[in-house]
Structure 1
Amino acid sequence: MHRYGVSTSNSKADMRARQSWLWLTTFFLVSSTLSACGTDAPSMPSPEPSLESSEAPLLGTVTCLLGTTTISFSPPLTNTPQDTTVSGVGGLTNCISLLTSPVTSGTTNFPAVLRPGLACDDLLGIRGATVNIVWNTGETSQLSLTQVIISGGSTVKETAQIGTVVSGKYAGATAVRTLTFVTADLENACASPEGLPQYTALQTLALTLIP
């Protein structure tokens, strides 16, 4: 059927064409608007820093409650000053570690060193010492210490050696090593013609790791 001289099929074709044109126009307008506003997916917030990385390191301690050390003198020490080579070896047990890598025991030694003009009275004097420790783990520590007197009496005397761990395991830690020995053993040996070839003392060790 023809109306106003235009076929029905042509009218339907024109309508479909106009609908397609409107749809494309709408699509491009919406796309342009979304692009202008920014439709990218929101970026994920940065993760919170972990407590492990933000917290300050904790203090750690190592305390060895029992031990002995034997210090040797060659030639034997007397009350008369003389050049003497001094060396020592010992052991530490019952070690307790807190907030640091654990150890349970260790052996101590300091290399032989020549001390000029040494006499028995100098055993209680202020002097430096280097002590090496081999822990039960196979790791080693080297301590640089200075000896001071804590207390003395007619029965026993006690000295403290205070310093730091200069290298190896627990490097940077402060160190306190105590030695306790029987007073009479030293005095009698030093006064004898033979002198004092060696003496054995109780020893303890405390390390404090500072962050």
Structure 2
Amino acid sequence: MRGLPAVVALIASSLLFPPAPAHAAPGDPTCTENESVSYSPGLLTTPRTVDVTVHNVLSCTSLTDPAVTRGQVRATIHGLDRSCTDLAASGSGSYTITWNTGETSTISYHRSANYVLGTLVIVENGTVTAGKFTGDSVLHVVELLNLDLTACLAEPGLTTASGIGTYTFA
């Protein structure tokens, strides 16, 4: 009977303080990124319907899974209304990273896009909703550098953009 108060206290504390939901382990991946984007047809100063193809190549370090060293994102979005003044609009969506281990992570995000001194800076705050690192929050920042906005003045328009970025999982 001496252990009964301890058991009652343990049960009461588990009801008052339920276990926290799963969260990221310290040391989940951080990645640098090279991003390339193509627009078909090219972007002009006035909006038109285009297909946008994105290819991100990631180089990563992960203490929780040292086998994860690389990743990539390949996606084509059809039928977007875009111009050179809104290469990447703010909004929400999802995409999948394929890791060098063959595993994937699906990320749901909210994006903001702003021009800073001629560079398009895109910030995505998201969460891994499926696959490897599920439950992690993700901060993705990419800068599309050296945009040739003079290409927007005539056909074929701005057809490509590229930049560098980071992914931080936490």
**Fold shared by both chains (TM-score > 0.5):** yes
Measured against aligned partners, the alpha-carbon deviations of 1:146-205 in whole angstroms (never above 9, x if no partner) come to: 221466114x3322111111211112211111111224x241222343211121111211
Q: Which has the higher helix share?
A: 1
Structure 1 vs Structure 2: percent identity of aligned residues? 28
Structure 2 residue 36 is matched with structure 1 residue 70 = yes
Q: What is the TM-score of this pair, normalised by structure 2?
A: 0.75
Aligned partner of residue 120 in structure 1, secondary structure: coil
Q: Which residue of structure 2 lines up, in the alignment, with residue 143 of structure 1?
A: 107
Indicate conservation of the 8 Å contact 1:69/1:108, yes or no.
no
Aligned partner of residue 188 in structure 1, secondary structure: helix
Aligned partner of residue 156 in structure 2, secondary structure: coil
Aligned mates of 1:196, 1:151 — CA distance in 2: 16
Measured against aligned partners, the alpha-carbon deviations of 1:120-141 in whole angstroms (never above 9, x if no partner) come to: 2112531224322111111111
State the one-letter code of the partner of 2:72: T
Which one has a bigger Cα radius of gyration?
Answer: 1
Q: Which residue of structure 2 lines up, in the alignment, with residue 25 of structure 1?
A: none
**Equivalent of 2:153 in 191, 194, 204:** 191
State the one-letter code of the partner of 2:106: Q
**Equivalent of 1:180 in 125, 143, 152:** 143
Structure 1 residue runs of 4+, over 6 Å off? 55-58
Measured against aligned partners, the alpha-carbon deviations of 1:9-41 in whole angstroms (never above 9, x if no partner) come to: xxxxxxxxxxxxxxxxxxxxxxxxxxxxxxxxx
Indicate conservation of the 8 Å contact 1:110/1:130, yes or no.
no
Please report the RMSD computed on the Cα atoms of aligned residues, expressed in angstroms.
Answer: 2.3
Q: Which residue of structure 2 lines up, in the alignment, with residue 111 of structure 1?
A: 76
Aligned partner of residue 85 in structure 2, secondary structure: helix
Aligned partner of residue 97 in structure 2, secondary structure: strand
Unmatched runs of 5 consecutive residues or more in structure 1: 1-54
Measured against aligned partners, the alpha-carbon deviations of 1:66-113 in whole angstroms (never above 9, x if no partner) come to: 2211111111111111111112112001x1223x33311111122333
Aligned partner of residue 190 in structure 1, secondary structure: helix
Q: What is the TM-score of this pair, normalised by structure 1?
A: 0.62
Indicate conservation of the 8 Å contact 1:89/1:107, yes or no.
yes
Q: Which residue of structure 2 lines up, in the alignment, with residue 122 of structure 1?
A: 86
Q: Which has the higher strand share?
A: 2
Of structures 1 and 2, the one with the larger relative CO (CA 8 A, separation 6+) is 2
Structure 2 residue 46 is matched with structure 1 residue 83 = no
The count of residues paired between Structure 1 and Structure 2 equals: 148
Aligned mates of 1:152, 1:191 — CA distance in 2: 21
